[in-house]
């Protein structure tokens, strides 16, 4: 008679993979325990490879500070020079934030240069790019300890504070989360902000400060290019990430909020219904919202199942979560109920996979990207101890979870050369050198940021797209970009928010595997779906409203 | 003996306001030296916060800390009294403790503050940055108010004695082998017992694929002779036959969960006492004890006596309970009901990641009720507002046993225990509580 052997470390990923075969939850922990990682090795994708460029990239930044900067450390990636290259703003904590202009040559070595931009702000937690005023120059929302700064893009990577210009009344708080959308019919965005704890308290447990929603102002019924007095999103439970997302494809995005249970009392994860023209209100248990309490730190979303509905990866301490909306009978989701599928998909990432530290992990920024251009999106999770928390891993490398053909994931951070033991916080995965490959930039707390160039040999083909429309909401936020190869559709919801204290406004990258051709389309925020249009592999396309894909070629310098 | 005989010392009004208002208020009132009672209360409230916010502090681990803190608080007090008896020689493994220097002046508030401060740092060394900040802050702001106006030699002598006392208790605590709680108490490998009657993981949380603290039942006990002293008979015989007692108990859980009334839901959530989201079940009873002590204005000797007995009782209760749990490793309702009654069964509460029989909350609530009933009497009515800050309204109880009964049945409402585990858990707690009550504190 055999006894079940639960070997959490050595077989965690094998167990996860096996579990993926059986969606019933508990019963898949069968009595044998004799499955081994090698049983799945044949199904594993070939590992990617990254090279750490350290300071050679030109990025020399660190998220510094003590207690007040134990969270945050975000990075924003955006094209402010109209050259297609994502430059970056890196939060500095108690040091000033730093802007690095991307001067990389297409397909060449990464090259960044520290430049004065007007973004050299103090006490910066993180930042998100967004074109607030629709002028085609990217703006920045900068989260700080103190006031939020809306930084208006002036062109050529220069910025100025526009709080006054845009009627934005910031409040003094520890700002840790942000998301934005354009509500139906609006030409001015709606901004949601999450704040953390009352930093003046010696014992700040239970002191979550208020989250706020800023909507477009009106004057005598006429829309204005400024914001209203903010609406409290009460109760507030110390969020570290929030995301406007259309979880049920209703056309009106809801606001998902992931909250840090370390500090709230009586709190839980939240999702706000934000109907246009109506006050926001929380989804309730009676409506199907399921009680979940985690150390919520980051949100990543992607339609992993091809159902048309996004899945949500929530970072936390120990087990991470991957939530899929409940769709009884396979139809449209009727209720805002989500089921955790992290274990069967192999993405709990509960403890380190390298370095020998057996204690539980701490997850921060998360992002879905296809790093091998296989056509299957992968998952990066930035990891790092909060600050000498002895019960959690000190050597806690970030994860690179590669997706298998069956939809499960396998850890390949070590094989990919991504192992590092800095206290990672924010990150940005983007094609920084316009090579068609997704690179990795990680911000570490109290140690230098790291840049890994994706130099994987024999990658698949790729396409990178950006949606753009005239006027307000130029980047089609809350719309969708879809790419079809044969019958299979990859899709990404266009969002601003999520991650951990930082986001990207740049090319949307898709891997094609062996395919050389595909079809692409945009579903615009108002629900208008463009026709599918052919696109060639290994190229960049602007997806202009009403015009279809327009190929773009990077300038050589 | 009735509490009213003891409740003879009236605190200055301001001191009480400080206690009620908590540490922040105390820090502001630098003109008033906190009383020993206020020191004990303030330090305990920090411990409760740290229990909630330190990842290793699952209920058994929390109960252990409360036993050691209780011992420190009691011995700090008893060491300066001729009418109180030391627990050295009564608690297992505690041979001797430092004594005060004869004829020398000590200040009890200072002794308590120094002893509990160093104990907090010792037991919560592993807490996170905010816990560390809180400990630093209370030492920096509260302690000066405790020593204010006292002769320096008295302060130094009292603080040294308090720290020595904690060092001695700490050495004693080292002997139970439970200082380190790796992986938050979940072993990296665990061999489960074969068969459908035995525990299986109840969640897809990777960490919880092995049960919490499987060898906790072998922990050195405090007052009870061993973890097996209050052993229970075997649980209901496992069966899937619809006429079997086991099936009927499972059906009762399923029916209860399916038809929960709002009042039952409220009860289940009130006593849920989840680790990392509350002060845990033993912390809940400590909160009750502190609240009543404040309301009755109990003097320090009675507070210290109550807290050590309560800490010892709940700690021994978890040891005894865990000894039984891992003797039988009984399946949880979730697994049984999904396999035999309703594949979609979902309990109201998250099923704790360890075997079912007996109910831990029942055992430790029974032990706590035994101590509190001996202390305050059979029909002591009180209001429990432990979870007000978490949005759960206060609940009124006619007696401690009424509260313990409700805590126990809450696990049925929550869908995480069968009735037998609940009822026998209370029996086990009653047995454990006798040993804590038998400790001799008064000459």
| β-sheet bridge partners, residue A416 | none
Using 50, 70 and 90 to split pLDDT, how confident is the model at A223?
A: confident
- Between positions 84 and 123 of A, the ones with CB within 8 A of B are none
User: Please, are residues A366 and A315 in contact by the beta-carbon 8 Å criterion?
Assistant: yes
For residue A496, CA distances in Å to A228, A384, A501, B73, B181 come to 20, 24, 11, 53, 41
- Within an 8 Å CB–CB cutoff, is residue A412 touching chain B? no
Spell out which residues of chain A touch residue B130, defining contact as CB-CB under 8 Å.
67, 203-205, 262-263
pLDDT of residue B10: 32
User: What length does chain B have?
Assistant: 443
pLDDT of residue B89: 98
In a mutational test of the A interface, the residue from B50, B128, B334 whose CB has the highest number of chain A CBs within 10 Å is B128
Distance from the Cα of B234 to chain A's closest Cα (Å) equals 22
Mean pLDDT of B93-103: 97
Q: What is the DSSP string of B154-168?
A: HHHHHHHHHHHHHHH
Res. B72: pLDDT tops 50:
yes
Using 50, 70 and 90 to split pLDDT, how confident is the model at A40?
A: low
- Mean per-residue pLDDT of chain A: 92
pLDDT of residue A26: 30
Centre a 10 Å sphere on the Cβ of residue A207 and count the other Cβ atoms it contains. Answer: 16
Using 50, 70 and 90 to split pLDDT, how confident is the model at A41?
A: low
For strand A321-325 and strand A338-340, is the pairing parallel, antiparallel, or unpaired? antiparallel
In a mutational test of the A interface, the residue from B51, B130, B385 whose CB has the highest number of chain A CBs within 10 Å is B130
pLDDT of residue A24: 30
Distance from the Cα of B270 to chain A's closest Cα (Å) equals 11
Nearest Cβ partner of B189 from A7, A343, A351? A7
Distance from the Cα of B287 to chain A's closest Cα (Å) equals 16
Q: Please state, for a pLDDT cut of 90, what percent of chain B lies above it.
A: 92
Spell out which residues of chain B touch residue A206, defining contact as CB-CB under 8 Å.
389
The residue of chain B with its CA nearest to that of A67 is: B129
In a mutational test of the A interface, the residue from B206, B260, B270 whose CB has the highest number of chain A CBs within 10 Å is B206
- Within an 8 Å CB–CB cutoff, is residue A26 touching chain B? yes
Distance from the Cα of A385 to chain B's closest Cα (Å) equals 10
Mean pLDDT of A470-498: 97
Question: Does B209 contact A6 at a Cβ distance shorter than 8 Å?
Answer: yes
Spell out which residues of chain A touch residue B53, defining contact as CB-CB under 8 Å.
205, 262
Question: Does B207 contact A392 at a Cβ distance shorter than 8 Å?
Answer: no
Question: Does A340 contact B54 at a Cβ distance shorter than 8 Å?
Answer: no
Encode pLDDT of B221-235 as tens digits: 999 999 999 999 999
pLDDT of residue B32: 83
User: Please, are residues B384 and B394 in contact by the beta-carbon 8 Å criterion?
Assistant: yes
Spell out which residues of chain B touch residue A359, defining contact as CB-CB under 8 Å.
182-183
Q: How far apart are CA B280 and CA B317, in angstroms?
A: 14
Q: How far is CA A261 from the centre of its chain?
A: 20
pLDDT of residue A42: 65
Cβ partners under 8 Å of residue A459, min gap 6: A372, A373, A436, A437, A511
User: Please, are residues A539 and A519 in contact by the beta-carbon 8 Å criterion?
Assistant: no
DSSP 8-state code for residue A248: T
In a mutational test of the B interface, the residue from A2, A5, A6 whose CB has the highest number of chain B CBs within 10 Å is A6
In a mutational test of the B interface, the residue from A9, A17, A352, A391 whose CB has the highest number of chain B CBs within 10 Å is A391
Encode pLDDT of A77-121 as tens digits: 999 999 999 999 999 999 999 999 999 999 999 999 999 999 999
For residue A356, CA distances in Å to A352, A395, A421, B245 come to 8, 8, 11, 48
- Within an 8 Å CB–CB cutoff, is residue A6 touching chain B? yes
Q: How far apart are CA A356 and CA A398, in angstroms?
A: 14
| β-sheet bridge partners, residue A75 | A90
Encode pLDDT of B239-293 as tens digits: 999 999 999 999 999 999 999 999 999 999 999 999 999 999 999 999 999 999 9
Question: Does A6 contact B204 at a Cβ distance shorter than 8 Å?
Answer: no
Question: Does B184 contact A343 at a Cβ distance shorter than 8 Å?
Answer: no
The residue of chain A with its CA nearest to that of B47 is: A203
Closest CA to A47 of A461, A515, A454: A454
Using 50, 70 and 90 to split pLDDT, how confident is the model at A187?
A: very high
pLDDT of residue A35: 28
DSSP 8-state code for residue A131: -
For strand A75-78 and strand A504-505, is the pairing parallel, antiparallel, or unpaired? parallel
- Residue A113: strand, helix, or coil: strand
Cβ partners under 8 Å of residue B201, min gap 6: A6, A26, A29, B208, B209, B210, B353
Res. B28: pLDDT tops 50:
no
Cis, bond preceding A505 (omega within 30 deg of 0): no
The residue of chain B with its CA nearest to that of A339 is: B204
Q: How far apart are CA B292 and CA B92, in angstroms?
A: 29
Question: Does A391 contact B276 at a Cβ distance shorter than 8 Å?
Answer: no
Using 50, 70 and 90 to split pLDDT, how confident is the model at A137?
A: very high
Find the helix packing angle between B400-413 and B262-270, rounded to 10°. 110
Using 50, 70 and 90 to split pLDDT, how confident is the model at A388?
A: confident
Spell out which residues of chain B touch residue A203, defining contact as CB-CB under 8 Å.
23-24, 46, 49, 130, 134, 137
Using 50, 70 and 90 to split pLDDT, how confident is the model at A556?
A: confident
The residue of chain B with its CA nearest to that of A263 is: B53
Question: Is residue A301 left, alpha or beta, with left meaning phi > 0 and alpha meaning psi from -120 to 50?
Answer: beta
Task: Establish, for the pair of chains A and B, how many residue pairs have beta carbons separated by less than 8 Å.
Answer: 137
Encode pLDDT of A139-161 as tens digits: 999 999 999 999 999 999 999 99
Mean pLDDT of A226-255: 97
Using 50, 70 and 90 to split pLDDT, how confident is the model at B128?
A: very high
User: What length does chain A have?
Assistant: 557
Q: How far apart are CA B292 and CA B373, in angstroms?
A: 13
Distance from the Cα of B188 to chain A's closest Cα (Å) equals 6
Select the more confidently predicted residue: A56 or B396. Answer: B396
DSSP 8-state code for residue B100: P
Q: CA end-to-end span of chain B, whole Å? A: 15
pLDDT of residue A55: 75
CA angle B317, B322, B324 (to 5 degrees): 100
Encode pLDDT of B294-303 as tens digits: 999 999 999 9
Q: How far apart are CA B376 and CA B381, in angstroms?
A: 10
Res. A47: pLDDT tops 90:
yes
Using 50, 70 and 90 to split pLDDT, how confident is the model at B23?
A: very low
Alpha helices by DSSP H, listed for B54-206, are 59-78, 108-123, 129-141, 143-147, 152-174
Spell out which residues of chain A touch residue B138, defining contact as CB-CB under 8 Å.
202
Q: How far apart are CA A542 and CA A523, in angstroms?
A: 14
- Write out the two tokens for B350: 């998250």
Distance from the Cα of B433 to chain A's closest Cα (Å) equals 31
- Within an 8 Å CB–CB cutoff, is residue A71 touching chain B? no
- Residue A220: strand, helix, or coil: coil
Cβ partners under 8 Å of residue A390, min gap 6: B125, B126
Centre a 10 Å sphere on the Cβ of residue A146 and count the other Cβ atoms it contains. Answer: 18
pLDDT of residue A33: 25
Res. A14: pLDDT tops 50:
no
Cβ partners under 8 Å of residue B181, min gap 6: A391, B56, B58, B61, B213
Closest CA to B141 of B29, B267, B14: B29
Distance from the Cα of B168 to chain A's closest Cα (Å) equals 24
**Burial of residue A84, with CB atoms counted within 10 A of its CB: 0-12 exposed, 13-18 middle, 19 or more buried:** buried
Question: Does B209 contact A8 at a Cβ distance shorter than 8 Å?
Answer: yes
Q: How far apart are CA A536 and CA A547, in angstroms?
A: 16
Q: How far apart are CA A322 and CA A304, in angstroms?
A: 10
Q: How far apart are CA B24 and CA B30, in angstroms?
A: 11
Question: Does B188 contact A7 at a Cβ distance shorter than 8 Å?
Answer: yes
Question: Does A387 contact B128 at a Cβ distance shorter than 8 Å?
Answer: yes
Q: How far apart are CA B280 and CA B60, in angstroms?
A: 9
Spell out which residues of chain B touch residue A12, defining contact as CB-CB under 8 Å.
206
**Rg of chain A over all Cα atoms, to the nearest angstrom:** 22
**Is the ipTM, as predicted for this complex, more than 0.90?**
no
Nearest Cβ partner of B277 from A3, A29, A293? A293
- Within an 8 Å CB–CB cutoff, is residue A254 touching chain B? no
Select the more confidently predicted residue: B356 or B10. Answer: B356
The pTM score is 0.92
Res. B31: pLDDT tops 70:
no
Question: Does A389 contact B206 at a Cβ distance shorter than 8 Å?
Answer: no
Question: Does B129 contact A350 at a Cβ distance shorter than 8 Å?
Answer: no
- Within an 8 Å CB–CB cutoff, is residue A408 touching chain B? no
């Amino acid at each position: 008679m055999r006894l079940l052997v639960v070997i959490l470390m050595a077989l965690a990923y094998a167990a996860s993979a096996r579990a993926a075969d059986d969606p019933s939850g508990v019963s898949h922990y069968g009595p044998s325990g004799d499955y081994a990682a090698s049983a799945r090795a044949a199904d594993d994708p070939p590992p990617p490879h990254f090279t750490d460029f350290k300071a050679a990239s030109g990025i020399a930044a660190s998220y510094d500070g003590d207690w007040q900067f134990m969270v945050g450390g975000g990075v924003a990636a955006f094209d402010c020079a109209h050259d297609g290259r994502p430059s970056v703003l890196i939060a500095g904590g108690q040091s000033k934030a730093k802007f690095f202009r991307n001067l990389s040559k297409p397909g060449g070595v990464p090259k960044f240069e520290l430049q004065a931009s007007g973004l050299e702000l103090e006490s910066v937690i993180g930042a998100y790019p967004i074109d607030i005023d629709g002028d085609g120059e990217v703006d920045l929302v900068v989260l700080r300890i103190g006031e939020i700064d809306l930084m208006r893009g002036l062109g050529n990577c220069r910025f100025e504070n526009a709080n006054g210009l845009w009627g934005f009344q910031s409040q003094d708080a520890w700002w840790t989360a942000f998301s934005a959308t354009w509500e139906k019919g609006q030409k001015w965005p709606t901004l949601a902000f999450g704040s953390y704890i009352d930093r003046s308290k010696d014992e700040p447990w239970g002191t979550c400060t208020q989250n706020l929603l800023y909507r477009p102002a009106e004057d005598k019924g006429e829309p204005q290019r400024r914001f209203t007095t903010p609406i409290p999103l009460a109760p507030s439970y110390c969020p570290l990430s929030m995301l406007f997302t259309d979880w049920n494809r209703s056309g009106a995005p809801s606001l998902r909020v992931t909250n840090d249970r370390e500090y709230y009392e009586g709190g839980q994860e939240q999702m706000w219904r934000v109907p246009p023209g109506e006050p926001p209100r929380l989804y309730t248990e009676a409506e199907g919202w399921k009680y979940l309490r985690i150390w919520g730190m980051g949100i990543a979303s992607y339609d992993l199942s091809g159902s048309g509905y996004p899945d949500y990866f929530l970072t936390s301490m120990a087990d991470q979560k991957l939530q899929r909306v409940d769709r009884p009978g396979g139809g449209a989701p009727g209720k805002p109920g989500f089921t955790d599928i992290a274990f069967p998909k192999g993405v709990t990432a509960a403890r380190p996979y390298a370095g020998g530290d057996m204690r539980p992990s701490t997850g921060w920024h998360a992002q879905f990207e296809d790093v091998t251009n296989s056509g299957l999106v992968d998952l990066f999770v930035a990891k790092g101890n909060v600050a000498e928390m002895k019960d959690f891993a000190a050597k806690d490398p970030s994860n690179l979870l590669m997706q298998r053909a069956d939809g499960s994931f396998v850890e390949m951070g070590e094989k990919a050369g991504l192992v590092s033991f800095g206290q990672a916080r924010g990150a940005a995965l983007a094609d920084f050198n316009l090579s068609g490959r997704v690179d990795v930039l990680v911000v570490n707390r109290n140690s230098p940021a790291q840049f890994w160039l994706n130099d994987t040999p024999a990658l698949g083909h790729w396409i990178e797209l950006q949606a753009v429309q005239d006027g307000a909401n130029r980047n089609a936020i809350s719309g969708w970009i879809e790419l079809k190869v044969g019958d299979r559709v990859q899709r990404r919801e266009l969002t601003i928010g999520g991650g951990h204290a930082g986001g990207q406004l740049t090319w949307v990258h898709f891997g094609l595997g062996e395919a050389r051709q595909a079809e692409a389309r945009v579903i615009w925020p108002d629900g208008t779906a463009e026709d599918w249009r052919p696109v060639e592999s290994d190229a960049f396309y602007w997806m202009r409203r009403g015009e279809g894909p327009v190929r773009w070629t990077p300038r050589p310098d | 003996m009735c509490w009213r005989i003891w409740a003879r010392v009236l605190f200055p009004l301001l001191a009480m306001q400080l206690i009620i208002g908590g540490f922040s208020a105390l820090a502001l009132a630098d003109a008033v030296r906190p009383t020993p009672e206020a020191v004990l209360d303030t330090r305990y409230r920090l411990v409760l916060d740290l229990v909630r916010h330190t990842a290793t502090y699952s209920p058994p681990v929390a109960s252990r800390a409360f036993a050691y803190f209780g011992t420190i608080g009691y011995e700090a007090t008893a060491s300066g009294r001729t009418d109180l008896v030391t627990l050295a020689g009564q608690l297992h493994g505690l041979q001797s403790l430092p004594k005060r220097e004869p004829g020398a002046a000590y200040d009890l508030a200072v002794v308590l503050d120094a002893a509990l401060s160093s104990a907090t740092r010792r037991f919560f060394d592993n807490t996170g940055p905010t816990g560390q900040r809180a400990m630093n802050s209370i030492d920096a702001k509260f302690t000066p108010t405790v020593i204010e106006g006292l002769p320096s030699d008295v302060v130094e002598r009292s603080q040294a004695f308090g720290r020595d006392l904690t060092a001695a208790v700490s050495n004693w605590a080292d002997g139970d082998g439970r200082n380190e709680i790796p992986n938050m108490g979940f072993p990296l490998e665990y061999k489960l017992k074969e068969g459908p009657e035995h525990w299986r993981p109840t969640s897809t949380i990777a960490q919880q694929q092995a049960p919490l603290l499987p060898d906790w039942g072998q922990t050195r006990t405090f007052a009870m002779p061993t973890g097996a002293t209050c052993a229970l008979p075997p649980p209901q015989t496992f069966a899937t036959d619809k006429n079997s007692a086991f099936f009927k108990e499972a059906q009762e859980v399923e029916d209860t969960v399916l038809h929960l009334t709002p009042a039952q839901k409220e009860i289940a959530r009130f006593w849920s006492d989840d680790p990392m989201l509350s002060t845990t079940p033993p912390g809940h009873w400590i909160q009750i004890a502190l609240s009543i002590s404040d309301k009755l204005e109990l003097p320090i000797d009675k507070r210290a006596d109550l807290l050590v007995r309560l800490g010892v009782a709940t700690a021994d209760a978890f040891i005894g309970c865990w000894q039984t749990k891992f003797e039988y490793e009984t399946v949880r309702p979730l697994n049984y009901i999904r396999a035999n009654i309703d594949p979609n069964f979902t309990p109201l509460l998250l099923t704790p990641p360890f075997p079912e029989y007996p109910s831990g909350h029942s055992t430790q609530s029974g032990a706590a009720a035994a101590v509190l009933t001996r202390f305050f009497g059979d029909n002591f009515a009180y209001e429990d507002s432990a979870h007000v800050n978490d949005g759960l309204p206060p609940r009124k109880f006619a007696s401690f046993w009424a509260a313990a009964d409700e805590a126990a049945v809450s696990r049925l409402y929550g869908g995480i225990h069968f009735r037998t585990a609940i009822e026998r858990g209370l029996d086990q707690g009653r047995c454990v509580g006798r040993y804590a009550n038998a400790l001799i504190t008064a000459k």
